[in-house]
Amino acid sequence: MMEQLNFSLKVFDGPLELLLHLIAKNKVSIYDIPISLILEQYLDYIEDLKKMDLEVSSAFIEMAAQLMLIKSRMLLPKIEEEEEDPRMSLAEALAEYKRYKAVLGQLRLAGENAGITYVRQTEQLEFDKKHRRTYDTQALTDAYRSVLRKNARALPPPMKSFEGIVGRPVASVPARILGVLRLLKRNITCSFQSLFRSARSRSEIVATFLAVLELSKSRHVEMDTRADDVYLTFKKEK
């Protein structure tokens, strides 16, 4: 029997932090994640948040979709021996996040220690008689321009840099529900992975995943795990 984890509705900064928590709880390696177990506990946590009327960000939903895709890909037979493990990209992201958290902890500790003041005794400074008190105007101008060039990257990017990012339409969950239903009514059954092949953005991936959850919850579709993938079947009204 699987051990029941008690989260006490702990709030996590993001899906990667939640995954690291689950991995630590289950005492497994990030490079050998038992996807089925972690996915089940991950979805349980999201469901607990919903029961408490707490907001679930799209980042958590997107990660749930990614975990389900990884699970379905692991069910597929390997074509080549050297084919990459579907979990590898997730493992690398988790390892990078752990390094980030470690550096952040060091910076936070350094900030706390910054409040400690150490006083150094004053030293007698000697005036350099060769030091010039006036400079050529052109030399100062050149120095100023040099500073501007070195700090050019710190300036805000032009508005053109945001074209294609700001203003992107957000995919509609109701629209994706209708799209999935139309597909299933034509084909009766389709694979989970095939629903995401036409997705052009992360927003569409999230909307499609939410649409599948809603259709499953309302019992319009059934999900069945087979040897090669997870399949959705349209339930005809009796």
Q: Is residue 148 domain-resident?
A: no
CATH number, domain of 203, equals 1.10.10.580
Q: Which amino acid is at 86?
A: P
- Sign for the CA dihedral angle at 230, 23, 209, 54 comes to positive
Whether residue 5 sits in one domain with residue 85: yes
Rounded distance between C-alpha atoms, residue 71 and residue 51, angstroms: 26
pLDDT digits (tens, 9 = 90+) for 168-220: 566 778 888 888 888 888 887 888 777 777 777 777 888 888 888 888 777 78
Residue finishing a domain among 90, 106, 122: 106
What does each C-alpha distance from 139 to 136, 146, 150, 228 come to in angstroms? 5, 11, 17, 71
Per-chain mean pLDDT for the chain: 74
Tell me the backbone φ, ψ of residue 231, rounded to 5 degrees: -115, 145
Rounded distance between C-alpha atoms, residue 195 and residue 169, angstroms: 19
Whether residue 184 sits in one domain with residue 91: no
Whether residue 88 sits in one domain with residue 11: yes
pTM equals 0.46
Q: Is residue 127 domain-resident?
A: no
Q: Is residue 117 domain-resident?
A: no
Write down how long the chain is.
Answer: 238
Q: For residue 80, what is the DSSP state?
A: S
Q: Is residue 192 domain-resident?
A: yes
Whether residue 2 sits in one domain with residue 98: yes
- For residues 91-97, average pLDDT: 89
Q: Is residue 132 domain-resident?
A: no
Q: Assign 234 to helix, strand or coil.
A: strand
The whole-number pLDDT of residue 2 equals 46
Residue finishing a domain among 106, 126, 154: 106
What does each C-alpha distance from 163 to 75, 167, 202, 235 come to in angstroms? 39, 8, 17, 43
Whether residue 187 sits in one domain with residue 89: no
Residue finishing a domain among 74, 106, 138: 106
Whether residue 178 sits in one domain with residue 82: no
pLDDT digits (tens, 9 = 90+) for 25-40: 999 999 999 999 999 9
Structural domain that includes position 221: 173-234
Whether residue 181 sits in one domain with residue 95: no
**pLDDT, greater one: 161 or 30:** 30
**pLDDT level of residue 19 (50, 70, 90 thresholds):** very high
Q: Where are the beta strands (DSSP E) in the chain?
A: 189-191, 221-225, 230-234
**pLDDT level of residue 82 (50, 70, 90 thresholds):** low
**pLDDT, greater one: 124 or 213:** 213
Rounded distance between C-alpha atoms, residue 165 and residue 60, angstroms: 21
Q: Please determine, for residue 159, whether its predicted confidence score (pLDDT) is greater than 70.
A: no
Whether residue 14 sits in one domain with residue 101: yes
Total of domains in the chain: 2
Q: Please determine, for residue 1, whether its predicted confidence score (pLDDT) is greater than 50.
A: no
